[in-house]
Structure 1
């Protein structure tokens, strides 16, 4: 077994005996993936969909949750059924997967670090405008995230993420109820109807694909192992955990679509895409319902953004640590147990990637984002989900997975739908890039 740790005690997070039946008291990794996957950008996209189309695309937001359930379940099932991590599975498909993930992790992490810090800083600056500038709020958020993940193991990390999910849930449900949704129109919005507007198909696909997570879906299997779930005895618990996660995600996005439909669509109010759209929503809420509601919303905005930050700081660093261990020739038979024992969290690769997510991106906060790097970031980000969906389809229908745990008709159908959906969105993203300005 590869020595990826620092010599510290490796029994802090041993694999635990599986329960006889699934129970709510066991859930945890699902809350982590829900909190990490739903960022400010997801809420804005759903808000804008509600503002532009009312309740028409409610069905698309729900379908997006179902698609992501299938991807996260497949990632968790691979970890539990094989005892190997997802990167071990990718490596078995060929060296090209290592090249793709290595380039992706470096470029994506550099740009995402700055985006996550800025997103977490926006609501703090709105709440405390006279304390310091946005850039310094962003730096503070990045450093707090770094220190928190560096010095805490998964158990503490999960508890904090679950608490922040509670804040997100209360705020979004309160807003969804506060705007007094038209339940008749909302129920009609569950029928799969496309808006009668140009590019409605691509807009709808974008909403489906944008609900709840990108690389964090792949990280779900690592969090499952970190929880101490390392064998098939935990399969029912994992599936319950995953469904609860995306039911929670569904509540978030449906509530924000209600807000968009009732508060913005009816008044024909437009907001900006991206995180600044939520700051504009805060101003609209202040004018409509008072300052207290606006501040309450900004607290939820911060919880949404900061959970995405620390979730990526932890989950993608786990994946990168596993990636480097595999490149160094570490044993793969007990990799899931290594994650459960906390070895990866103490490794130089885990902490090195934490530093990569935090310090180099600070330069982008003060100097602006390099154009060509942003183009590459967009292309790699668009390519990751079709890569994930199609490789999971491959892995879970091959001899690499025990026959009992291979994908059935429903799982395969959802993985195919996910793969095709994200492939279309990937092509659109690549097509929309301003290539003439690059060369």
Structure 2
């Protein structure tokens, strides 16, 4: 087994890479800047919630040998309910990923700018930033390779680099251990509740559930491999959680008042890790951006192809057209500095509805003995699952309220 360890590595690294994007770096950094170690418990909770939901989604994928959208098409008998569910999935995942892809590419570019200051050139009366296009081409080229394993191994390498950067940065500051451990004790106040929701929301990501179920059904075919499926996601999500915590610790060690560009954080960390701080953090931010730039269009392509019953192999025309479209929109938004506010608002609204609906569907599926057989949920798994469902409902309501409030302004 040790000799052939590579065949036991699954899509876990892609899942970890997907939720550690530029948005996570920003949210975790600001949580550290504003609240110190106080909200480490929220990240720990989000890691536990992610493991529970991802394990259920992966188990469904392994036992049924289908992705979640395919299972939804097969198991939701009422036509109106099926159309509503799949329509919601398409709007939330595809539109959302297209909108947020601009942020992923911009985050990767922000990291690159630590090494290569960007020149903005005028184009058609506006401004064009070339680095998002170059970064997008890298992501597109990897997806066009048509090789899932190649993408997985690329992700493993980048995630390890990103993990090393943020973990080393956090440890270099020699955080006070008793104070750090105190941050694992839950503390909820009026002034930190929005940040708590944001921290959980950046980790419990709906499109990861679709991505994971699809890739697990592609990677593993036998129920005897369930232990490898679980080990793969446990290790990957725990590692991702540690990276997120390291980013929060890094924010705590800094003296920055806001984190909008890499120099905000790197300048304040110069006394701790030296003059190469901008380059060190630039590598970390680029890694976070490039991995999310690949997983977002990949997940969008898998979802829409599964919803319509099309082939979801990377080399199939529907898959290529879909992920290329999502990438192209991201490149345009990022290169021309267009703010896709309405698209993001629509995606947030759909995600706010989708997350609790999807959690409900997953809990329903993993408790159906005619589908899952002996691999259905046991009592403890259901208790934990219901607790996570409550969290997703709170997150969903917060998303919906946030969009409504923004529209009313």
Corresponding residue for residue 424 of structure 1: 394
Q: CA deviation at 1:116?
A: 1.9
Tell whether the 8 Å contact from 2:17 to 2:288 is kept in structure 1 after alignment.
yes
Q: What residue is the counterpart of 2:314 in the other structure?
A: 345
| 1:211-230 pair list within 5 angstroms | 211=203, 213-227=205-219, 229-230=220-221
Displacement after TM superposition at 1:34 (Å): 0.6
Counterpart of 1:117 in structure 2 is: 105
Q: CA deviation at 1:346?
A: 1.9
Q: Give the unaligned 5+ runs of structure 2.
A: 77-81, 122-127
Tell whether the 8 Å contact from 1:73 to 1:239 is kept in structure 2 after alignment.
yes
Contact preservation (8 Å) 1:145, 1:313: no
User: Do the aligned partners of residues 400 and 140 (structure 1) sit closer, same or farther apart at CA in structure 2, a change above 3 Å counting?
Assistant: farther
Q: Does 1:75 align with 2:62?
A: no
Residues 22 and 103, structure 2, Cα contact 8 Å, conserved in 1: no
CA contact (8 A) 1:372 1:438 kept: no
Map of 2:367 onto structure 1: 397
- How far apart are residue 153 of structure 1 and its match? 0.6
Residues 1:33 and 2:15 are matched in the alignment: yes
Does 1:242 find its partner at 2:268? no
Q: SS of the counterpart of 2:129?
A: helix
Deviation at 1:178, TM superposition (A): 0.9
Is the CA contact 1:38–1:249 (under 8 Å) kept in the aligned structure 2? Answer: yes
How many Å separate the matches in 2 of 1:118 and 1:320? 25
Match of 2:353 among 372, 376, 383: 383
Specify the alignment match of 1:191 in structure 2: 185
Q: Unaligned stretches of 5+ in structure 1? A: 1-18, 327-337
Matched, 1:49 2:34: no
> Aligned to 1:310, which of 294, 298, 315?
294
1:322-366 CA deviation, whole Å, 9 max, x = no partner? 22226xxxxxxxxxxx8xxxx622222210111211223443231
Residue of 146, 149, 157 corresponding to 2:143: 149
Q: CA deviation at 1:205?
A: 3.4
TM superposition shift of 1:50: 1.9
Q: Is the 8 A contact 2:60 2:372 kept in 1?
A: no
Using the TM superposition, name which of 235-244 and 151-160 deviates more. Answer: 151-160
Q: Displacement of 1:437 after TM fit?
A: 4.6
**What SS is found at the alignment partner of 1:95?**
helix
After TM superposition, give the deviation of residue 88 of structure 1 in Å.
Answer: 1.9
Distance 1:59 1:361, change over 3 A: closer
Task: Let me know the Cα RMSD of the aligned residues.
Answer: 2.5
Residue of structure 1 equivalent to 2:124: none
**Alpha-carbon distance change, 234 to 158 in structure 1, aligned in 2, over 3 angstroms:** same
CA distance in 2, matches of 1:279, 1:69: 33
TM-score (norm 2): 0.88
- Asked if structure 1 preserves the Cα contact closer than 8 Å seen for 2:13 and 2:159, the reply is yes
CA change 1:23–1:219 in 2 (3 A) is same
- Number of positions where the alignment pairs a residue of Structure 1 with one of Structure 2: 395
Matched-pair contact (CA < 8 Å) for 1:282–1:297: yes
Structure 1 residues 41 and 113, CA gap change in structure 2 (3 angstroms): closer
Residue matched to 1:13: none
User: Does 158-167 or 385-394 show the bigger shift?
Assistant: 385-394
Distance between the aligned counterparts of 1:140 and 1:78, measured in 2?
Answer: 37
Give 1:41 shift: 1.1
Residue by residue, what CA displacement relative to the aligned partner does 1:250-269 show, whole Å, maximum 9, x if unpaired? 210121122122324xxxx4
Match of 1:173 among 167, 170, 175: 167
Q: CA deviation at 1:108?
A: 1.6
Q: TM-score, length-normalised on structure 1?
A: 0.83
